[in-house]
Structure 1
Amino acid sequence: MRERIAWAYEPRSILAMLALAAAYLVAAKAGMAFSLVHSSVSPVWPASGVALGGLLLCGASRWPGIFLGSFLSTLFWQAPLIGSLVTSTGATLEAVLGVWLLRRLDFSAALERVQDVVALILGAAVGCSLVSALIGNLSLAAEGILPWADFMKAVGVWWGGDAMGIVVVTPVLLLLWARQPVERRLEAMALTSCTLLICLALFTAALVGPSSWYIGTFFLFPLAVWAALRFGPRGVSLVTLFLTVFSLWGVMVRLGPSQTELQSQASAQTLVLWQFFIGVGATTCLLLAAASAGRRDATKRMELLAAAVRSVSEGVVICAVTPSGPKVLFANEAFRAMVGLGMVELMGRSPREFAGEMDPETRQRLETAMRQGELFRCQVLLRHRDGKRVPSELQLSPVRDADGKVTHLVSIHRDVTATQELRTRLMAAERVAAVGTLAAGVGHEIQNPLAYLELSLEGAVRSLGQGRAGAVDALVQLRDAQEGAERIRHIVQDLRMFSREGAQERKPVDLREVTTPALRMVRHVLRDRARLEEDYGSVPRVLASEGRLGQVLLNLLVNAVQAIPEGAPEQHVVRVRTRTAPDGRAQVEVSDTGRGIHPEVLPHIFEPFFTTKSLEEGTGLGLSISQQIVRAHGGEIHVHSEPGKGSVFTVLLPAAPEAVTREVPEARAEPRTPSSRALARRVRVLIVDDEPRLAQSMRLLLEPVHEVVTATCGKDALALVSSGQRFDVVVCDLQMPGTTGMDLYEKLSEQAPELARRLVFMSGGAYTEAAIDFVRTVPNLVLEKPVPPELLLATIDAALTPELRQTGS
């Protein structure tokens, strides 16, 4: 408090108070010139506007300056001392209450909001000025200066004068103090010139007669409206001030100093009506200026928002909710680039038209969210006009009106093509890393059958060198060699399933069939750490990617192996269990009796790159990617672990729909062996493979039952067909140098479409992106190398007989 008092009496504060007192005194002197009802009551009182504006600009603490100016002005009309003090108190209280009220209402001196104009007019001008009118007139009446009979009339005149002083003068002080640069200077000069001309016309009309003056006052409105629309509240306040000053001056000059009592009353009524007219006009135009300023500000914000929405990298679509469904109102450039359509082509269309393939559950959830106006997130494929698909991460948000009804939908699409490519590479890298962790064991598994394959073949060669006596031994040794080759083929198939990127198509999968190759991968490494227990219960098929689920199981098994120390396999167990969960989902558990997971670590194990292992043991991506794969299949993965007691990882996946399961046969038809082909006809087969020895081996296999021609490149095969040679079936490698199997298929489709339909592809599994797309769309049979002889013979028969095509792999 002492600091405030000391601050109030600083030289700068004292000068400000004296300046306010002087300004109030000058304005009061001008107002007293219009005292027609009583010498102490004037219908024109600009001093109230000076008081309120001064305290708003300088601070309410400068109120002593207002009190001093009001006290001196009352003394000048020879009012009693007590009356002067009371009247000055009322004038000061009017200004202080006005400042307090406006600040409580978050008043802005710019007057560019309708609420600010309303607060100034109703709160300060109409409300607070009544305080001064009541206090001042009560003081005059109490001291006998004002007859009680004229009390209400005097209160009305005083109240109107103070209110008009605030309406006319305060905005001028507030807006001129801001010192904002004048925009549109030529137009401002034109407005000023017109205002001065109208002011002179009003002054002249006031001298000529009342009828001419009344007609001239109507020019106030067009000028004020012009100022409101083009120059805002500042222009309105200046125009209003000029018109008020000149018109009042003209009225006073016309009335003159010598008036009868009747003329005095008529003049008072004229001034009151004129003040009311000015007040209504000024208030209307100030409201118009504030509304116009608010509209301009809203327009600028909308333009800024529109520019921001247009320039963001994410696709933004705004749809109106209609009875027939959402319709596009706006789409920014990023979304238009995603779908390859212009704004005119998008307007009025349903956003459903741009969504590509979507699983039924996600589509149903999206439709429900759009219908009910709920927040929704998912991934969708946008359909580009050239046919390509753009993976997009969608966020749908509703826009509601004041009643809570959804009127619009805003969807944000983020192109996740690069993210998906990176995720695919990370998954592929993690698959390779998991297999690399088991590289030594896989090498050992291959070395064993490879060793007795070589020994058996060497023994067969020596036995055959002994003539007929060694033929039986050679046959036994060749069968052993065949068994070794079959074991190596299974190992290669397991490696291919876990490492290739093309195994992403979803089909009904039996979890027990996926578990077997994963166990084969870790079995050798597991021998030195724990016993393996398998418990395969009944489990429903799941609609999934076999390779992706295999990666999940392999990651879980690798984690189980690494959680168990070497050297005590009889003390530890790794258990794999499948069963049907109580809710009907397929469930597979991988548990171990290893070191377990600490409770502080457990919440973070699915975070990317989080690992407690050494760099040689893991990257920290295995469990994170496994969780992503399981969630992408609509499932869940849970973990329960106790330090020192091991861990249990549980994977839950939704069962495949019955309609999809019924489409897949329970078991494949048994391939026919050469001995069962007595009734099969002999055909002409063209074998195309860039590996000459493989082509020769297949020729030797097939020649007993078919006529075989070989070619080592696609170009030679096309030359044989073009030369007129007839073939019934073509067995071709999918990927070869130069002319690939895909190129050969395209050429044959043009030259010999019937032969193209009987073309059988073979692949070593090293799929390129083009090969993956080709295999997904081509109707022909595709075999994985190495191909068992029985399967090769059966596939050739299937190629010849359409009803047997499902025999192939």
Structure 2
Amino acid sequence: MLVLAGVYLAVARLGLSLATVGGNVSPVWPPTGVALAALVLRGPVLWPGVFLGACLATLSTGVPPTVVLGVATGNTLAMVLGALLTRRLRMDADLSRIRDVVILCVGAGAVCTGVSSLIGPLCLFWGGVLPWAQMSHAVWVWWVGDMMGVLVVAPPLLLLSRPAWPARLGEALALSGLTTVLGVGIFLFRNSQPGLAHAASFLLFPISALAALRFGPRGAGLATLAISSVAIVGTVRGQGPFSSGNVAQDLLVLQLFIVINAVTGQLLAAASEERRRAVERLQLLATTVRGVHEGVFIAEVVGQGRLRTVFANEALSMLLGRPPEEMVDQDPCLLYGDQDPRLSQRVHSALVAGESLCVEVTVPRRDGRIVSTEVLLSPVRATGGDVSHFVATHRDITATKELQARLVAAERVAAVGTLAAGVGHEINNPLAYLVLNLESASRALAENGMMAMRDVQTSVRGALEGAERIRLIVRDLQVFSRQGDQERSLVDLNALVPPAVRIISHALRHRARLVEEFGPVPKVLGSEARLGQVLLNLLVNAMQAVPEGNPSLHEVRVRTSTDVTGRARVDVVDTGVGIAPQVMSRIFEPFFTTKSSGEGTGLGLAICQQIVRTHGGDLEVRSEEGKGSVFTMYLPAAPVQVEVPPRPVSRSKVPMPSTGRRGRVLVVDDEPRLAQSMRLLLEPYHDVVTATRGQDALALVAAGNRFDVILCDLQMPEIDGAALFRRLGVMAPELIERVVFISGGAYTAETRSFIETVQNLVLEKPVRPEVLMASVDAALAALDSREEDEREPVVARAGGARH
């Protein structure tokens, strides 16, 4: 405080030496800048030093003590207010932002100095030092002097508080020398031509601008201080372009020149510094974006819902297998190829509305491989108004999706495995009387009599019933154990409940009654296997919540209905142990389980929730400890409730045709007993040839054998049904339309894709005898129809020749 008071007094004596109003008011008042810089840098707590220095300086002019206290209070109050304002508005002392320069010039300068310029002259008037006639002029001169101190003295002191040598020292010294020489030449020599001196003074503006641009706020502040010092000295001595013989008036005009030069230099320096920092941030951002592992592109909005890529980083280039220059200037939507129309609509809506969007898309690489990515699309409003750009980040989630698929498959197997004993029991019952009936038929045939034939028929019918029961059980298991079934179709939840109930019924009968309650429910668009897995998991979860031993006291109920919003609703209700409140919030967390080791993985409910959400639905739970739980699955109704088949292919019973022509049939199946069974079934009506390998079938065709119908198994070692079909297309193209496939289940993605694309009939094992025979007859009828159509033009041409 004492040092501040001493410095304030020293520079105040210098300012008072240039006083132009009553020896007390000076247009040059550097103490204001000294005080403001000290209070900004060290805090307003130093105000006693300012007050003491102002008292000593004012006392030296010989005014009464009351006037001294009033003037010192005004000067101190103005600077304290200026320091508080700059802190309140968070002005940086380095003046590297335009807002900092505006706060200093307007807030601490123009506004706060108005306090001292009003209080000071009023105190001088009340003390009888200043006549009222000079009051307005004194206020103006006082305010100009304080402004000069704030704009000329304060910036260098603020900036020099953190001393640093300029990076270009030689250039700085040269510019300082040029400024000094030019200032001395303009202000410290008498000029016989005032017009030429005024014109020369404008050369100082580009010098200040150069200092601001090359050395920032520090250079602008020092250049302004140097020019101002030389200009004040020269003007007081009656030299320079602003000298007219009236020093008081000349100094006021000079202050206008100095203020304009100071403000211009500081604003230009701040703008240059902001631009430099913006460029540095942009370079840092560009380097960061180029180096991140996630793919990033930046697209410019060029129209309503239209984009143009302006930047793509290396990670995106590696993700898509395309060079960055190939993606720039292109519509980024072309990178995604054909997508689900609903997804395309969501993206378009986000672009039009200027909203963020996070979606999962599959992107085709140039090499043909499909990559799953999570895309976060974010709008950029560069000017604070309309959206000018979009930034999209791509995260490769291919491995994550594969892991999720494996977890889903593992949980599906775990759910079916939990019921393995019950399913085995359900198969063993019909299998037992299947075996017994076949054994009875075999013994009856050995007796070789009419009575024996009736017994044989009865036994065979019983065997067929047992086989049919086993077929239904296997079909139910296939619904819940399909791997990777993502195909969406219309699913009837009322038809999906019975298979799940049949699978779990044997395991549940020792714990609770199982009740099915069907209501009107809309069809949903989804994966039958995935939704069946959710239903089965919820039933297994309900079964495990019910203790064993009292099935008459407990109940598991499956209820279907439609909620008030039109969504399909499935409730799985149990009267088990319920869920504790502290556990309820975590039941959908992966790997969280309250079951003992070996009874659960903690993935079941998490995967159920994931599957339901991917179908656009919700999975909710209500539970009361000791009274049971209710799991409710909501699914949106499909937009169209009637499914139109993509192609006329039947996998069920084929109607019996009217033709009974005998044909030549090739049976290809790697299971010899099954091939032999089909031969025995068909041989009374057709000529049948069997082959147990794809190579053998191709060899028969290569040897010149032609067949009317080819019954081909899809799953075979070495050459499977799809490979055999493709080779037939090369060897004997006319045969590929005559192939009827028999599938025991599409276990690979290639087989599933082949079944969906091939136009031939596909029968599911086990094929019922009447279906197999009808399929062969239908294929023969279709063949005869095609041959008849091909003969008609020939007959027509022959008839035309006879006429």
Change (3 A) 1:273 1:671: closer
User: Is the Cα–Cα contact under 8 Å of residues 40 and 86 in structure 2 kept in the other structure?
Assistant: no
The SS at the match of 1:436 is helix
Partner residue in 2 for 1:763: 743
Partner residue in 1 for 2:670: 690
Change (3 A) 1:371 1:473: same
The alpha-carbon deviation at position 209 of structure 1 amounts to 6.3
User: Is the Cα–Cα contact under 8 Å of residues 237 and 282 in structure 1 kept in the other structure?
Assistant: yes
| Residue 542 in structure 1 maps to residue 524 in structure 2 | yes
2:188, 2:493 → 1: CA distance? 103
Partner residue in 1 for 2:601: 619
Partner residue in 1 for 2:14: 30
Partner residue in 2 for 1:8: none
For 1:452, give the aligned amino acid. Y
1:717-762 CA-to-partner distances (Å, cap 9, x unmatched) read 3333233322333333323332333322222223333323333333
Partner residue in 2 for 1:439: 420
2:747, 2:309 → 1: CA distance? 44
1:562, 1:97 → 2: CA distance? 74
More displaced stretch, 562-571 vs 639-648: 639-648
2:134, 2:567 → 1: CA distance? 94
1:224-244 CA-to-partner distances (Å, cap 9, x unmatched) read 111112211110011111112
Which of 199, 204, 207 is 1:223 aligned to? 207
Instruction: Please report the RMSD computed on the Cα atoms of aligned residues, expressed in angstroms.
Output: 3.7
Partner residue in 2 for 1:10: none
Determine what percentage of the aligned residue pairs are the same residue. 52
For 2:418, give the aligned amino acid. T
1:81, 1:564 → 2: CA distance? 96
Partner residue in 2 for 1:115: 99
The alpha-carbon deviation at position 200 of structure 1 amounts to 3.4
1:44, 1:652 → 2: CA distance? 80
Alignment map for 1:642-653 (pairs within 5 Å): 642-653=624-635
2:131, 2:653 → 1: CA distance? 126
1:77-124 CA-to-partner distances (Å, cap 9, x unmatched) read 555655555444443344333323322332221111222212222233
Which of 152, 159, 167 is 1:175 aligned to? 159
Partner residue in 1 for 2:401: 420
Alignment map for 1:518-537 (pairs within 5 Å): 518-537=500-519
1:803, 1:532 → 2: CA distance? 51
User: Is the Cα–Cα contact under 8 Å of residues 657 and 774 in structure 2 kept in the other structure?
Assistant: no
1:525, 1:348 → 2: CA distance? 62
| Residue 628 in structure 1 maps to residue 610 in structure 2 | yes
User: Is the Cα–Cα contact under 8 Å of residues 763 and 782 in structure 1 kept in the other structure?
Assistant: yes
Change (3 A) 1:233 1:678: closer
Partner residue in 2 for 1:160: 144
User: Is the Cα–Cα contact under 8 Å of residues 4 and 35 in structure 2 kept in the other structure?
Assistant: yes
The alpha-carbon deviation at position 709 of structure 1 amounts to 2.7
The SS at the match of 1:189 is helix
Alignment map for 1:470-509 (pairs within 5 Å): 470-509=452-491
Partner residue in 1 for 2:352: 371
Partner residue in 1 for 2:249: 269
2:652, 2:368 → 1: CA distance? 41
Change (3 A) 1:723 1:320: same
Partner residue in 1 for 2:50: 66
Which of 688, 701, 712 is 1:708 aligned to? 688
User: Is the Cα–Cα contact under 8 Å of residues 207 and 251 in structure 1 kept in the other structure?
Assistant: no
Change (3 A) 1:648 1:148: closer
The SS at the match of 1:569 is coil
1:534, 1:139 → 2: CA distance? 98
The alpha-carbon deviation at position 171 of structure 1 amounts to 0.7
Change (3 A) 1:517 1:343: same
Which of 750, 753, 770 is 2:730 aligned to? 750
| Residue 699 in structure 1 maps to residue 683 in structure 2 | no
Change (3 A) 1:291 1:754: same
1:804, 1:521 → 2: CA distance? 45
Which of 540, 553, 556 is 1:558 aligned to? 540
Alignment map for 1:797-808 (pairs within 5 Å): 797-800=777-780
More displaced stretch, 598-607 vs 695-704: 598-607
Partner residue in 2 for 1:457: 438
| Residue 187 in structure 1 maps to residue 171 in structure 2 | yes
Change (3 A) 1:767 1:231: same
User: Is the Cα–Cα contact under 8 Å of residues 798 and 804 in structure 1 kept in the other structure?
Assistant: no
The SS at the match of 1:543 is strand
1:563, 1:579 → 2: CA distance? 24
1:437, 1:395 → 2: CA distance? 40
1:147-174 CA-to-partner distances (Å, cap 9, x unmatched) read 5544433443333223212211111111
The SS at the match of 1:685 is strand
1:347, 1:744 → 2: CA distance? 45
The alpha-carbon deviation at position 526 of structure 1 amounts to 2.6
The alpha-carbon deviation at position 493 of structure 1 amounts to 2.4
Partner residue in 2 for 1:7: none
| Residue 788 in structure 1 maps to residue 772 in structure 2 | no
Which of 690, 694, 697 is 1:717 aligned to? 697
More displaced stretch, 156-165 vs 308-317: 308-317
Change (3 A) 1:139 1:531: closer
User: Is the Cα–Cα contact under 8 Å of residues 657 and 781 in structure 2 kept in the other structure?
Assistant: no
Gapped runs of 5+ residues in structure 1? 1-16, 257-262
Change (3 A) 1:540 1:290: closer
More displaced stretch, 470-479 vs 697-706: 470-479
Which of 48, 64, 80 is 2:32 aligned to? 48
The alpha-carbon deviation at position 501 of structure 1 amounts to 0.7
The SS at the match of 2:741 is strand
More displaced stretch, 724-733 vs 427-436: 724-733
The alpha-carbon deviation at position 435 of structure 1 amounts to 0.9
1:591-634 CA-to-partner distances (Å, cap 9, x unmatched) read 34444444554454444334333334333332332333333333
Structure 1-normalised TM-score?
A: 0.86
Which of 265, 271, 274 is 1:294 aligned to? 274
User: Is the Cα–Cα contact under 8 Å of residues 206 and 212 in structure 1 kept in the other structure?
Assistant: no
Structure 2-normalised TM-score?
A: 0.86
Change (3 A) 1:285 1:538: closer
User: Is the Cα–Cα contact under 8 Å of residues 309 and 332 in structure 1 kept in the other structure?
Assistant: no
| Residue 21 in structure 1 maps to residue 2 in structure 2 | no
Change (3 A) 1:777 1:246: same
The SS at the match of 1:570 is coil
2:191, 2:2 → 1: CA distance? 38
The SS at the match of 1:779 is coil
Change (3 A) 1:64 1:625: closer
Paired residues, what number?
781
Alignment map for 1:123-272 (pairs within 5 Å): 123-140=107-124, 146=130, 148-203=132-187, 205-206=189-190, 210-253=194-237, 266-272=246-252
The SS at the match of 1:179 is coil
1:97, 1:472 → 2: CA distance? 117
Change (3 A) 1:503 1:210: closer
Alignment map for 1:767-778 (pairs within 5 Å): 767-778=747-758
The alpha-carbon deviation at position 141 of structure 1 amounts to 5.0
The alpha-carbon deviation at position 278 of structure 1 amounts to 1.1
1:208, 1:384 → 2: CA distance? 81
1:541-581 CA-to-partner distances (Å, cap 9, x unmatched) read 43332222222222232233323333333343434444555
1:170, 1:581 → 2: CA distance? 73
